[in-house]
Amino acid sequence: MSMASRPKHIVLIGPPGSGKSTLSERLIQRAPLTLIATGKRLRDEIRQGSAIGRQIEARLDQGHFAPDSLMDKLMREWLTNVPPDYGFLLDGYPRSRKQAFALEGMLADLKRPLDLVIALELNINEAIRRLSGRRICEGGGEPFTLHIDDVAAMHRCWERGGRLVQRDDDRAEVIAERLHVYVEQTQPLIDFYQHDGRLRMIDAQGSPDEVAERVMALLNDMELEI
């Protein structure tokens, strides 16, 4: 199958607050991509009170990552379940060089070569502003994410009978730890993918629409139309 016709396989990395979740949702609306967002899937396990959720809840609340052994096992299972006519978009894995090597092995076994790694760049002050002001509207239908600077979105939540909830990992002290862990563990991952030519850097400043357009322009330039 040619590069142009086969499903696309993309990894999305970036610091907390860089907008990976928002960008991911926009990309999967425009292409046959299965989104594997590890943070969301792990939080779902916690909400369901599963064995996996109980195992990782304390670690995530403190700003740490789930153990590599668990993430590698879950990722192999999730990738195996991606339909053959769909590509995938990974958000939250790999987070380290060790996980990157593990992913290479999984993809070789599944015969799904990785096409592109998109790394979002965002300065620390903006990341802190975004995360500390992030809230989840719950109790008023389908939950959605908003920022406290968005007054219209807050009123929309209240009009639906919802309430604004701050995630435990968006507290100030946890944000600082999350950013520290990202730089310490994930920066070497950027170096890893930059070395083999699959990495492209994207400026994550600006609105979600602006960032999405930068990514779409990149994909078009690389003839990875999706």
Whether 163 is a known active-site residue: answer no
Annotate 183-225 with DSSP letters as a single string.
Answer: IIIIHHHHHHHHHTT-EEEEE--S-HHHHHHHHHHHHHHTT--
Catalytic pick from 167, 171, 198, 200? 167
Active site annotation includes 134: yes
- Of the candidates 130, 134, 135, 214, the residue annotated as catalytic is 134
Whose CA is closest to 104, among 207, 112, 44?
A: 112
* Rg of the chain, C-alpha, whole Å: 18
Catalytic hit among 8, 130, 135, 178 = 178
20 among known catalytic residues? yes
Examine the residue annotation and report whether 198 is marked as an active-site residue of this protein. no
Bridge partners (DSSP) listed for residue 13: 119
First to last CA, the chain: 16
- What is the C-alpha to C-alpha distance for residues 7 and 55, in angstroms, rounded to an integer? 34
Looking only at the bridges linking them, the beta strands covering 199-203 and 144-147 are: unpaired
List the catalytic residue out of 20, 130, 135, 214.
20
Catalytic (active site) residue 8: no
Distance CA 8, CA 121 (A): 22
Active-site position among 95, 130, 135, 214 = 95
Which residues are marked as active site? 20, 95, 134, 167, 178
